[in-house]
Structure 1
Amino acid sequence: MEDLIILVLIVLVASFLQTSTGYGFSIIGTPFLLLIYPAHTAIQVNIILSICLSAFMIFKVRNEVDKSLLFKLIKGSIAGLLFGIFLYLFLDIRLLKMTVGALILILTILLILKLTIKRTSNRDFLTGGISGLLTTSIGVPGPPLLLYFSGAKIDKTTLRSTTLAYYLFVYFASLVMQISFGGTTKETWISSLLAIPPLFAGIMLGQLFFKWISQITFRIITYMILIFTGIYLLATSF
C-alpha cells in the first residue's frame, strides 16, 4: 500500500510538470520510480505512462507542432535508439548516469550565464540522436531537448507541442526494443495500469497551469528541472 501511494504521488507530480512545461515526466518520474522498483521495471513503467500522456495530449496541441524540427529529431533518434538498447542491456548504468549528470549541470550553468545555441539541421539531428540514446538506455529523453531548445530560445508553446509529438515516437520505439531484447514483467503492466488515474489528474491540472505561466517563469522552471536531474544522476551513480 505504501508503494502504491508513492507511485500515485510520483505520477501526479510528474504528469503535472510534463503537461505544464513540456518536460519533466521522465526527469522527475524515473528517479523516484527507482526507489520502489528494480531499474528495468522503473524504466518501462515510466515509458508506458509517457506514451499514454503523449498520446492523450498530442490531439490538443498537434497544430502547434514544428513538423520540420520534429522529423529531424526523429531521424536523428533512430541511431541513438539502437545504441541505447546496447547500453540498456550491457553497460554499467552508473557510468552513463555520472557522465550525463555532469554534462547537464555544466550546460545548465552555461545557459544560466546566457549561453545561446544557434539552431542548425545538424544540431537538430544530433540532439535527436542523444535523446534517443538516453531513452532506450535510462528512459529519460528530455535533457538534451531541454538544453538545446532553451539555448535556442524556442517559445514555450512550440517547445511543448513538438516534444510531445517526438516523445510519442521515441518512447514507443524504445518500449518495443526493450521488450524485444530484454523482456518485461507482469509487475510493470499492473503498476502502469494503477497509475493511469493520477496520470490523467496531473494532465488536467497541468493544462490549467500552462495558460498562466510566463516565458520567464517557464525558463526558470526549466533550469530547476535540469539542475535537479544533473544532481540526481550524479548522486545515484556512486
Structure 2
Amino acid sequence: MEIIAFIIIILVASVLQTSTGFGFSILATPFLLLIFEPIEAIQINLILSFIISSALIMKIRKDVDFGILRRFVVGSAVGLPIGILIFLLVDINKLKLGVSLIILVLTIMLILKFRINQNKKRDLIVGGLSGAFTTSIGMPGPALLIYFSGTDTQKEKLRGTTLAFYLFIYIVSLIIQVIFAGTTKTVWVSSLWALPLIFVGLYLGQLLFERINQNAFRIFTYIILLFTGIYLLIESLGLL
C-alpha cells in the first residue's frame, strides 16, 4: 500500500511542479511525511524537486526574471541557516501549526483581493522566508506563491523564476540537511525509484501548462495553498 501511495504522490506532485513551478514540495512533503521519517521525507522532496527544476530550466529560462531571482538568492542566504536551526531546535508540530496559520490567513487575504506591490526589499524578505521554510520543513513554495499571487505575476514568469530559484535553494538546502541532520539509504534508494515517475510527470505537466489560462492558474494556486494550510493544521494538531 505504501508503494502505491508513493507512486501516486510523486507522479501527481511532479505534474504540478512542471505545470505551475511550485507544486511538488507543497503537495508531496505532507504526504511523504505519512510514509517516511521527517528527515527522509524532506530530503526526498529536495532531491526530486531539484531534478525537476534541472530538467526544465533550459526550456523555461526565457521566462526567468533574473533581477528578482538574484534578490531571492541573497535573501535565502540569511533564511537557510535560520531554517536548519528551527528544524533542529523547535518542535515540528508547533512549527507546522505556525506555518499553516500563516498560509491560511494570507491565502484568504489574496482571495479577498489583497494585493502586494513588488519591490526589491520585499524580494529579499520573501527569499529569506523561502530559504527558512526549505531547510525547516522542505517547502519553499508557499512564500513564493503567496508573494507572486499577491503581485498578479503572469504564470510564465512565476513558473520560470520559481524553478530557477529552486535550482539554488534545493541543492544548498540538501547539503545543509545532510551535514547537520544526516541522511539514510532510504532517501537515495527511494529517490532513484521515483525517477521514472518524475519524467512521466514532466511530460504530462508541460501539456497541462500549455492548456491552462491565467485565471484558472490563479484559482488553482488558491486551491493548492488552502489545501497545504489545512493539511498542515490538521497534522500539527495530531488529527491524522
The TM-score range, normalised by the shorter chain, is over 0.9
2:36 matched residue in structure 1: 37
Q: Mind listing any 5+ residue stretches in structure 1 that lack a counterpart?
A: none
What's the RMSD between the two structures over aligned residues? 0.7
Q: Secondary structure at the match of 1:195?
A: helix
Runs of 4 or more off by more than 4 Å in structure 1?
none
Cα distance in 2 between the residues matched to 1:158 and 1:183: 35
Matches within 5 A, 1:139-218: 139-218=138-217
Letter in 1 for 2:8: L
Q: CA deviation at 1:185?
A: 0.2
Cα distance in 1 between the residues matched to 2:91 and 2:219: 33
Q: Does 1:27 align with 2:41?
A: no
Q: Secondary structure at the match of 1:72?
A: helix
Cα distance in 2 between the residues matched to 1:85 and 1:213: 36
Letter in 2 for 1:112: I
Cα distance in 2 between the residues matched to 1:129 and 1:33: 25
Letter in 2 for 1:175: L
2:48 matched residue in structure 1: 49
TM-score by length of 1: 0.98
2:219 matched residue in structure 1: 220
Q: Secondary structure at the match of 1:35?
A: helix
Q: CA deviation at 1:5?
A: 1.8
2:229 matched residue in structure 1: 230
TM-score by length of 2: 0.97
Give a deviation string over 1:98-148, Cα, whole Å, max 9, x none.
Answer: 111001111111101111100111100000000000000000000010000
Cα distance in 1 between the residues matched to 2:4 and 2:220: 26
Q: CA deviation at 1:182?
A: 1.1
Q: Does 1:65 align with 2:64?
A: yes
Give a deviation string over 1:171-227, Cα, whole Å, max 9, x none.
Answer: 100000010111100011000000011111011000001011000000000000000
Q: Percent identity?
A: 54
Cα distance in 2 between the residues matched to 1:89 and 1:186: 21
Matches within 5 A, 1:61-140: 61-140=60-139
Letter in 1 for 2:204: L
Letter in 2 for 1:5: I
Q: CA deviation at 1:6?
A: 1.3
Cα distance in 2 between the residues matched to 1:172 and 1:185: 17
Q: CA deviation at 1:168?
A: 0.8
Cα distance in 1 between the residues matched to 2:183 and 2:221: 32
Give a deviation string over 1:48-81, Cα, whole Å, max 9, x none.
Answer: 1011011101111112110000000010011100
Matched pairs, number: 237
Q: CA deviation at 1:22?
A: 1.3
Cα distance in 1 between the residues matched to 2:105 and 2:85: 26
Q: Mind listing any 5+ residue stretches in structure 2 that lack a counterpart?
A: none
Q: CA deviation at 1:8?
A: 1.1
